[in-house]
């Protein structure tokens, strides 16, 4: 995950999950991708072991302030679960470390799933030729192509954003009437000082976007919670980090159909816990790195989503352990 000392306890979904695990008596350690290492061909992490002195405080903020943090070098394959909660962009070397343990440990989300779905290109895997669930989306580094796409768009508005952005960073709304700004915007988004370049996403504007978007959390292919994010008066972005506010939300029929349509593909790709962003029933993004929203959905709906997540992890580990025990028992019977 991101560094322990950068956590904002009132808002942090990862801390909420950690608190639930410690409360249940599980051993929990945290490490950043930079803390991974190899010793004698075994993947280790320079970890922070999280514990408490006495009982676990019911207050997550108090738990964070009083938690005992002990540093220790530990083998990754010794754990039941590795929960990937690092912020984008994805560190490909971190996945190389996880490759070595993925047969021994339940990695959330799966290494293959993270590789495939870690950026905004992943929505292209869902077959939607008529743009029924996904707005028309274009991705390129070619400025002339992007300008041509803007000119030919039937919509008066389009959304532009960087491929690897998160939390609403870099998301802007383009209007055809402001064409004189497009060249400078594309230069800013695409060109780096070192001569390299970045991909840019252009997406058709979805009617109703000015009323906000919906974050839906999906666990093992099933919806466990949702919230609506309403933008502030002076910003088109709904992200909480960009000033959006949270409203309790009940899924519409169209949103339920969308989740039912994409759920099996998420499971197949090893995407156990994801957050999707939806506007007017249209899928805008799939967040697989460290999807947030648990704390805000909990507050808005008076629920405890972390319990559902950890219940699911425990069930998965129990099933895996039973399979190992059965295989060991049957192998031993061969020598009876």
Tokens 């280790």, located at residue: 44
Count the Cβ atoms, other than its own, within 10 Å of residue 178.
Answer: 10
Taking each helix axis as running N to C, give the angle between helix 305-333 and helix 13-23, from 0 to 180 degrees, rounded to the nearest 10.
Answer: 50
In 3-state terms, what secondary structure has residue 77?
helix
Beta-carbon-side half-sphere exposure of residue 69 (alpha carbons within 13 Å): 13
Torsion of CA 322, 328, 329, 333, to 10 degrees: 160
| Cα–Cα nearest to 219, from 254, 267, 255 | 267
CA distance 336 to 325: 17
pLDDT at 4: 97
**CA–CA distance from 76 to each of 30, 73, 155, 321 (Å)?**
11, 10, 50, 17
Q: Are 323 and 144 a contacting pair, CB within 8 Å? A: no
User: 32: pLDDT confidence band, cut at 50, 70 and 90?
Assistant: very high
73-120 pLDDT tens trace: 999 999 999 999 999 889 999 999 999 999 999 999 999 999 999 988
Return the minimum-mean-pLDDT range out of 87-96, 145-154, 238-247: 238-247
Tokens 């230069």, located at residue: 187
Residue 238 pLDDT > 60? no
171-196 pLDDT tens trace: 888 887 776 788 888 988 898 888 88
The structural domains of the chain, ordered by start, are 4-108 (3.40.50.20), 136-204 (3.30.1490.20), 209-312 (3.30.470.20)
Question: At 157, phi and psi to the nearest 5?
Answer: -130, 145
182-231 pLDDT tens trace: 888 898 889 888 888 899 999 999 988 888 999 999 999 999 999 999 98
The β-bridge partners of 273 are 219
CA distance 293 to 244: 13
Residue 232 pLDDT > 80? no
Residue 235 pLDDT > 70? no
pLDDT at 171: 87
The β-bridge partners of 99 are none
Sheet (strand 172-175) strand order: 137-140, 200-204, 157-162, 172-175
Is this structure's pTM higher than 0.75?
Answer: yes
Mean pLDDT of 40-58: 96
Residue 236 pLDDT > 80? no
Return the minimum-mean-pLDDT range out of 52-61, 165-174, 194-203: 165-174
Torsion of CA 224, 78, 289, 98, to 10 degrees: -140
Count the Cβ atoms, other than its own, within 10 Å of residue 85.
Answer: 20
Strands (DSSP E) found in the chain: 28-30, 36-39, 42-51, 68-75, 81-83, 106-108, 137-140, 157-162, 172-175, 200-204, 213-219, 222-230, 245-248, 273-279, 282-287
Instruction: Return mean pLDDT, the chain.
Output: 92
pLDDT at 241: 55
* Preceding amide of 89 cis, omega within 30: yes
pLDDT at 194: 85
| Cα–Cα nearest to 237, from 136, 300, 167 | 167
């Amino acid at each position: 995950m991101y560094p322990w000392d950068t956590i904002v306890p009132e808002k942090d979904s990862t801390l909420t999950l950690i608190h639930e695990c410690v409360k249940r008596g599980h051993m929990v350690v945290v490490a950043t991708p930079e803390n991974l290492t190899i010793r004698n061909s075994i993947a280790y992490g320079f970890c922070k072991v999280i514990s408490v002195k006495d009982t676990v405080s019911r207050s997550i903020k108090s738990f964070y302030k009083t938690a005992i943090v002990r540093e220790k070098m530990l083998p990754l394959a010794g754990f039941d679960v590795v929960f990937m909660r690092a912020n984008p962009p994805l560190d490909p070397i971190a996945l190389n470390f996880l490759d070595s343990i993925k047969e021994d440990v339940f990695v959330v989300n799966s290494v293959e799933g993270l590789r495939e779905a870690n950026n905004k290109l992943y929505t292209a895997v869902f077959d939607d030729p008529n743009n029924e669930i996904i707005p028309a989306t274009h991705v390129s580094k070619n400025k002339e192509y992007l300008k041509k796409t803007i000119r030919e768009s039937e919509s008066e508005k389009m959304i532009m954003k960087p491929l690897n952005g998160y939390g609403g960073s870099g998301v802007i709304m383009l209007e055809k009437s402001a064409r004189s700004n497009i060249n400078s915007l594309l230069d800013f988004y695409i060109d780096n000082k070192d001569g390299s370049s970045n991909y840019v996403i252009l997406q058709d504007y979805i009617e109703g976007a000015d009323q906000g978007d919906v974050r839906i959390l999906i666990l093992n292919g099933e919806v466990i919670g949702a919230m609506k994010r309403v933008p502030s008066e002076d910003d088109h972005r709904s992200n909480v980090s960009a000033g959006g506010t949270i409203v309790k939300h009940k899924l519409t029929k169209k949103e339920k159909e969308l989740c039912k349509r994409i759920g099996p593909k998420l499971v197949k790709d090893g995407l156990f816990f994801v957050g999707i962003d939806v506007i007017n029933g249209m899928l805008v993004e799939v967040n697989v790195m460290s999807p947030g929203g648990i704390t805000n959905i909990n507050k808005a709906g008076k629920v405890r989503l972390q319990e559902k997540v950890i219940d699911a992890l425990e069930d998965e580990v129990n099933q895996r352990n039973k399979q190992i025990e059965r295989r060991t028992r049957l192998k031993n019977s061969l020598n009876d």
